[in-house]
Structure 1
């Protein structure tokens, strides 16, 4: 796991502040002022986490996130001054792993970066125990870090993979949104219901013929989610 963080924001003062906090914690920092610069840097640099502002010229954060997800599963934390839930959902639906609204505490952002790195380390260690988890036509290959449905590869984000792995590892067991967040994000849940809900919805869009009548990720109303064999 790379200790290099890419900070993408058109506001140089915000980049400077984030840079200082990350550097003081021992991280190497790359900076880009827009999405196009970020994509160029990613061609030649391995990074552990991408901090990506939503509102930028040339190529905005949503467009950049979509482009990154075409080739990379590097964790992405999106920044935005907009606080409406729909904006958060739009950000996460593009494949982002976390979302922080401006103005933000640099210490909070630093904690989110560390949480993403811890989760990636955990997934890498867990992958060493080779196994394939299945439920009906759905398979999660921990070695390949791949998801297949009826033999067809399904593109998922690292967080989506981790949620599927958790649920398939405990068939029939119901996990609340808070518990899923704590197990997958490796940090206290706080107000995590909407975040988990968005990722579950995205998974259903990818896995289900009719997301409103899911075969795989079932909702137990008032309790949480489960997968049955």
Structure 2
């Protein structure tokens, strides 16, 4: 992704704070659109498909947590939470629901712009047809995945459709921890929509990855869910 022209949805109900964030983002070359409540934010997300969202927690009509959960249900749009909450439990909640980054108020707007650019750069390769995380390569068009060995040879992975969906979904945001509920919503057919089934599919996926040489690629994050290891 060319982050210099990225569209950022700024969701903030305090007018002065929103103006400062927008001013710094636009100074960095980003395009912006603003929403002052949760429902408007979701409408704009659906209509405009922004490249990134900066999202306050305390919003009218719908909380930032609910907005984030719905954005994650729809896909993998990067989200940076901007909030006055600085307790560890709130940071854990942000990661569990699916935030890509977390900035505590009061913050420096220059830092927000820098974080936005960093997140966009980090997920930039996720919009192509081939994802590469560590030694694992995922071809979205052919629904094929493989592990690349030290000699450059590819070991193909014999994945089920659900295993492939889970791997591809996580690879689109490889630094983020995914909850079981999110993986169920995003990757499993309705008839399988029980959180315990995520463990079964992830266990089989992990075994196949390890057999192909990607040891420890899928990691458990206590109290959150699962994350990919980019160094595996």
Structure 1 length-normalised TM? 0.64
Superposed displacement of residue 155, structure 1: 5.3
Alpha-carbon separation, structure 2, partners of 1:226 and 1:121: 18
Q: 1:114 aligns with which of 104, 114, 117?
A: 117
Q: Would you say the 8 A contact 2:37–2:60 is kept in 1?
A: yes
Alpha-carbon separation, structure 1, partners of 2:110 and 2:129: 28
1:113-149 superposed Cα distances (whole Å, 9 cap, x missing partner): 00111122233468278xx95xxxxxx7342598997
SS in 2 for 1:91: helix
SS in 1 for 2:20: helix
Alpha-carbon separation, structure 1, partners of 2:12 and 2:168: 23
Distance 1:149 1:63, change over 3 A: farther
Superposed displacement of residue 90, structure 1: 0.7
Q: Which residue of 2 aligns with 1:25?
A: 28
Q: Which residue of 1 aligns with 2:188?
A: none
Larger relative contact order (Cα-Cα within 8 Å, sequence gap ≥ 6): 2
Q: Would you say the 8 A contact 1:81–1:101 is kept in 2?
A: yes
Alpha-carbon separation, structure 1, partners of 2:12 and 2:118: 21
Q: Which residue of 2 aligns with 1:35?
A: 38
Distance 1:46 1:60, change over 3 A: same
Q: 1:143 aligns with which of 130, 134, 140?
A: 140
Q: Which residue of 2 aligns with 1:169?
A: none
Structure 2 length-normalised TM? 0.63
Q: Is 1:65 aligned to residue 68 of structure 2?
A: yes
Uncovered stretches (5+) of structure 2, i.e. residues with no partner: 146-157, 184-197, 208-215, 221-227
Uncovered stretches (5+) of structure 1, i.e. residues with no partner: 134-139, 165-183, 185-195, 220-224
User: What's the RMSD between the two structures over aligned residues?
Assistant: 3.8
Distance 1:120 1:210, change over 3 A: closer
Q: Which residue of 2 aligns with 1:161?
A: 171
Q: Would you say the 8 A contact 2:38–2:64 is kept in 1?
A: yes
Q: Which residue of 1 aligns with 2:154?
A: none
Alpha-carbon separation, structure 2, partners of 1:70 and 1:163: 14
Alpha-carbon separation, structure 2, partners of 1:112 and 1:157: 24
SS in 1 for 2:74: coil
Q: Would you say the 8 A contact 2:138–2:168 is kept in 1?
A: no
Alpha-carbon separation, structure 2, partners of 1:127 and 1:108: 31
Superposed displacement of residue 56, structure 1: 1.0
Q: Which residue of 2 aligns with 1:15?
A: 18
Q: Which residue of 1 aligns with 2:92?
A: 89
SS in 1 for 2:107: coil
Alpha-carbon separation, structure 2, partners of 1:145 and 1:13: 48
Alpha-carbon separation, structure 2, partners of 1:55 and 1:15: 13
Q: Would you say the 8 A contact 1:95–1:157 is kept in 2?
A: no
Q: Which residue of 2 aligns with 1:75?
A: 78
